[in-house]
Amino acid sequence: MTTLGMAELTSPLGDVTAVWHDDRLCSLAFSEHWHSVQRALQRRFGTVERVASPHAAALRRSLNAYFDGVLDALDGLAVDPGGTPFQQAVWSALRRVPPGETTTYASLARAIGAPTAVRAVGAANGANPIWLVIPCHRAIGSDGRLVGYAGGLERKRWLLDHERRLHRASA
C-alpha cells in the first residue's frame, strides 16, 4: 500500500486537490475532476492510503504568491508527475516556458527532439497531472488559438492574461 498526502486548497479559479508522494507533488487538479484523478492515482500507485499532507501550508503559500503576482513562486516545488519518458520530456520542457510567454505544441515537439510528434506532445500536455506547476496552459495552437485545457479554456485564458499582465508590469 502506498501512502499519499492530500490537501484541499482554494484558488481564484476554483477548489483544487493536491497529492504528494514521498514529499513531492504528484497531482494538482481542480477538485471537480477528482474522480478521474483518483483513477489515475490508483493506476499509478495501486492501493493507496490517503493522509493529510504536511506540505499543504507551503503549497498554499506558493499558490497565493503566484496569484498575488509572484509568477515564479511555483518554480521550486519538487514534483513527481510519473508518466512515460516522453511525457516527462514534454513536462520538463513546459516548466522551462517562462511566465507571461507561450509556446506551441510544434515548438515543444522540436524542443524535445521529436519534431513530428506534435499530436503526442498535445496528448502528453493533456495528461499533465500537476496543473499550474507544470504550466500546460502556456501551450497554444500554432495559429495562436487557445486549445486543449482540462480546466476549460476560460481558466486557460485567465491564467495567460494574469501572467502577461504581471510580466508586462515587471518589464
**Count of domains forming the chain:** 2
How far apart are alpha carbons 164 and 154 in whole angstroms?
A: 15
Do 50 and 97 have their domain in common? no
Contact 60, 74 (CB under 8 A): no
Residue 50: domain span = 2-67
In a domain, 79, yes or no: no
Identify the active-site residue in 40, 112, 136, 150: 136
> Across the 171 residues of the chain, what is the mean pLDDT of every consecutive 10-residue run?
95 96 95 91 93 94 95 93 97 95 96 96 94 94 88 93 84 61
**Three-class SS state of 73:** coil
Assess whether 9 and 54 both reside in one domain: yes
**Inside any domain, residue 77:** no
Q: Which three cell numbers stand for residue 71?
A: 509568477
CA 52, CA 73: separation in Å to the nearest integer? 23
- Tell me the C-alpha distance between 7 and 18, whole Å: 5
Domain membership flag for residue 74:
no
Instruction: Please count the helices (runs of H) and the strands (runs of E) in the chain.
Output: 6, 6
Q: Which amino acid is at 154?
A: E
What confidence score (pLDDT) does residue 102 get? 95
Q: Are strands 14-21 and 2-11 parallel, antiparallel or unpaired?
A: antiparallel
Whether residue 143 sits in one domain with residue 95 = yes
Could you confirm whether 26 is annotated as catalytic? Answer: no
39, 67, 95: which is the final residue of a domain? 67
Looking up residue 128, the CATH number of its domain turns out to be 1.10.10.10
Are 57 and 116 within one domain?
no
DSSP designation for 116: T
Residue 76 included in any domain: no
